[in-house]
Structure 1
Amino acid sequence: MRIRTKLMIAVALNILIFVGVIFFVVRPYFIEQSMERDRLAVDSQIASVTETLANRKSSLERTLVDWAAWNDAYAFVQGKNEAFVDSNISEASLDNLNVNAMLFLNRDGDVHYATFQKQGLSLTEPEHQAFLTDIASRVRADANTRSTIYESEYGPVFYATHPILQSDRSGPVEGTLVMLEFVSSHFVADLSAQTKLPLAVGLTEATDTMITSRDGLTHVVIPLDTVYDKTDYGITFVVEPTHYANTVSMLRLGMVALVFLGTGLFLSLLWTFHRVVIRRLMEIGGELKQITVERDSRLRLSIDAGSRDEIEQMAASMNEVLAALEDTRAEVLDKAYRDALTQLPNRLAVEDYFAAVRKTYRHIGVIGLDLDDFRRINDQFGHRTGDAALIYIASRLNFYKEEGFVARIGADEFIFLHPNWTLEELRPVARRLMKDLADWADVNGVTGLTTTIGLDVFASHHPHHTYEILMGRLDVVLHEAKLSGKNRVLSFQEIEDGSHYLQTLEMERDLRRALEEDEFELYYQPIVSPHPFAVRGVEALIRWNHPVKGQVSPGLFIPIAEQLGLISDIGRWVLRQAVREMREHVTRHELFLSINVSKRQIADGSFLGELERILHDQTFNPSNLHVEITESEVGGNLYELQQFISSLKAIGVKISLDDFGVGTSSLSFLQSLQLDLIKIDQNFVKGITENTFDRALLEGLYQTFHTLGLDIVTEGVERPEQLAFVLEHSSSLIQGYHYSKPVPLSQLENYLKKVVML
């Protein structure tokens, strides 16, 4: 079918659909809206009438209280203030009070004194007395009624009562003050003027507001007992549905106009689209097809120099896109593999470099550099100084790398790789790096800036020596170097040949015993929602209470457990213990429990089966469990990770990505993972008060993750200014020492109880 025919059909269908939408959707919608507006108008008028009545009643009651709680009136009904009437009551005072009569009843309920407005009244003295007696008897008969409208011989009467007390409203009660007003035509006219409605007052049997439609009008009856204590009267008025009538008239004219406009639009669009759009688009489509076949970004679309319309601008923009494709591709790859601050390659690039050179060289010389107490440097000298130190180290590593490779693999960690270098070649470079850093620190006045360096000669040709083992060995030697005093150079070979290696073997033995003897303990760190403050979840963190060494840091034994293959056993223990300890707390306090899972647990396939068994045995709701995957695992086998996440989702468990921003993941990876929550690493938060780059980056991450519909937890919030920034730019949950450090179960229970009592 030709495009012109398709266009004719499309335009006709669109016009028909448009008219159909107008008739079947828009028209009913506007009619319904107009009816709703009429209904709202009626409701508004009902509210106006009710409010006017309530205000009139309230005004009278306030006046009544002012007169009833008054020492002069109190003495008057006791017969001790004979001058009270002459001093305070006159026909003018009744007119000012907007009442027709005032009655002072004594303690027995008899009339002590009464006064009427003479104007508008034609009652004789006996009629006055009969009326007063009737009012007094009604007040005595129903002492609980404070205000009411009742039918008297002279028409409906509204009265309100209040006990006569002293000015401080103390007793005993010496009588009752009654103020009344005839519900006359003047009364109704006054209400009508205030509400701008033609009101009428009459007897009614309705107990609730009645709204009925008759003859195209809306009739409303409001029983007055909704305002006054007891009455059989009601207010009635009529409302004309003006919105509905106007809307129907407008829609009829609109539909006639649409028929004529639609026909003209159909013919006009056909000619315009063909002349201006279709012909040129067909030309551009042919040229794009040719470029696609050639797969050559150097090809360009032809441009009509005599035309400057949007289609030609689109063609020119496509040419610009084609020209920028190669540059964009290179830039994207560069950003994915490069650290933004130092411009060195990142951890992901290290893994690629290792994969490339291990097939060619038998061994690789490795230098790992880790700044000592770098957080103190940032806190003492500022993040600008800290960033300057990192940039300087990067420049010196580039200076010494020769044919090797350098990268920034952590916040204050760097790696130097050189194929076929030996320890004898690595040590001089390590010593020069330490001296360079010391000289820079002296020149810039940064006292205490030192570094720990680990060396290794890694047999890359060995089939079991993977990238993970390389990084694991480097972590071990850096940990050993820091434990033995920092600011020193230590090689992995020295650990193997001396007591440090024996300590590692001892660590393995102690870890196995710790699992058997139940030496581990779980601490829990709350994850809170600041406004309103509430604990939303807790993260389970393992602690090792060694019988001799005391509490051993997870930063020491977890990497060794990873290296020795014990992390799966430890992970299973954490899972069982956390679910058992937190089962009741999760339900009682509506929390989620977050646990960490390692790459080895994912790889060996044992985690899922154990998880299902524990959840079933402990009757733990899977939706209350978050499994945290560290960001470094995203750069591994993506397909394997996707399968693992899908299995967890099938169970009902939620997925969190931990330590976002320090590993190798990118937003393109995140799109392929079914994540529920992102935990932004504390390194982003540390520098936000001083570092403009960190603030801009963190603000952009918040915006991106909120757009993707992901929940966020910001880690490492310790200071009020950090919390203020996070609250200003996100609705992130908070995890950090500002609210609580990781605490044992007993302290967590006290913490949660305090939160409930807030």
Structure 2
Amino acid sequence: MLILRVIFLLCGRRPIMKITYDDLFYYSSFQEFTKFLLPLLLPHTGTEAAMITCHDGSSLKIAASAGNSPAKAGTSLAADEEIKQILPGKQGELLLIEDTSHYPELNECMKKLGVRSSMSVPIVLSEDNPCGFLHLFSTQPQKFSTAAQDHVKQAALVIARSLMLEHQAVHDSLTGTFNKEFLVNYFHQVNAPAALYHIKIENLPDILKKLGREEAEQVLQDAALRLKQSAGREAVTASLREGEFLLLFFRDISRETLAGHGAQIQEAFSKTFFSEKTPVKLSVSIGVSRSPADSRSIEDLLYFAEVALYESRKYAKHPTVFYHTGIKNERTLEKTIVEDLPKAFQNNEFSLVYQPQFDSETMELRAVEAFIRWQHPVLGYIPPADFLPPASRSGLIKHIDQWVIEEGCRTAASLQHKYPLSLSLNVASFAYYPEELTTFIFNTLKRTGLSPGRLELELTETEGHFPLKETKTSLETLQQAGLRTAIGNFGSGDASFNAVQSLPLHTLKLDRSFTKKMLEDKEQEKVVEQMITVAHMFDVIVVGEGVESSLQWQKLNALGCDYVQGYYCGKPVPLSILESFLEHDPTFSNAYDPFLQQNRSSL
């Protein structure tokens, strides 16, 4: 194998490459083309063997061969330091050994291999970027003619052009990974049991906003490289769309092994990525489908892996989720919901219902909170919990919020001269579009004639994301105009008292989970009392959500909670029923409850 090490040295030092041996393994057009070209070169150059080598780590590997080649495709060529010192090679020029007897150090080993002369030329994709080399060998010493040398140089140019065209056809231009079309074709070629991973970078929008397009693209390139290294040579890595990747495995596809691959991918992405501006961390969700267990169709596998991916996104830590039929129906429903949401605006399928909030001590009606409802023409009533998360993931949540603001303000404006009532609106997307929604709110108030003092804007504390800085300025602008501001579902996410401290708030709404548990758990009761106390320290009033019994109402009142809201106090009702209650029973509460009667009689 010494002659192969000589070839390695004649071809110079390892350059930075864009095409590797692993790539050539998948290039079917390249394989077919070289089967035709290499044998054709032999009679035109007076040689008996030909091969193409490509970089593979620190060595060269034979990608194709013809004739009486010293070694076959797939053979790795090692480097020898002694030979490297004797025969240094330069890139970018034709390297000739016309008679091995002129090289005493090589003569004996080359004779044993039957090689007495050779030509080697780099295959250059771009300036100073050879990806491999074309070699021709002869069993006799000979002075290669100018025509033979030209044939070899021309062949190297043709091979390089062929590689470039195939590379562009099957690779993603940004990340350098394969594209979806290649992965699909390769799956059909192999036709063997396989596992398909769908990997999505969840916080890519934040990265783009933080770093800008150019640096974010560099992070994506680094992420693709890290993914390929983590998956190893057994996997085909492909880009699906920006920030989303596919992995295809054909060997051991047992659930245990695949779960291990998922853990390795998560670990690889959990490590910091460095850019010129700032270090960043990426959060990824992973869905997996398998063939033939789930389907033999690659189209089905792609869809099922995406279904599993969306299931993974429901969890805070985004675990690796395997597809199963139970989540298919959920994903199908979600897809239908996302497709039909735009039509719902046009067809007036949305409506609002209103739930009252009461003073926990005096029982006086303080405000009503508006909740959206969707009556689908085919699916019937769709709960908010089923359509708001998909709307948020698909980017439609802002349009829903705008509809709620418009409809809520129009309703409140029609009631403001009859009843001393405030309206609370939950605007889920405010943290993402603070300036745009602030402008929309002001325009809506002007258009409907609603007094700003009658409107309370409620932000929802969501798990893992509550951007305080981005919302503070806009909330201050709204407050200066007379609007009230609140934070809902407090305690269910990560904002905690940072939000109370940092944001300009009037109201804090305790999450219903605390109301439910405080009667059964003394520790939970203490937590509720402490949250109420701290909120009052910042002059923030507290609303207890999810009140479903008089005992819960009494306990919240005893702990100092200012207002209460829940099904026991009053269920959400349409506008017509709200107006009827306001006209005939302004207290809008359960008149037959002993606790309420007792407290009313003491007023």
Q: TM-score range by the shorter chain?
A: 0.3 to 0.5
TM norm structure 2: 0.46
Higher helix proportion (structure 1 or 2): 1
Which structure: larger Rg?
Answer: 1
Structure with greater contact order relative to length (CA < 8 Å, sep ≥ 6):
2
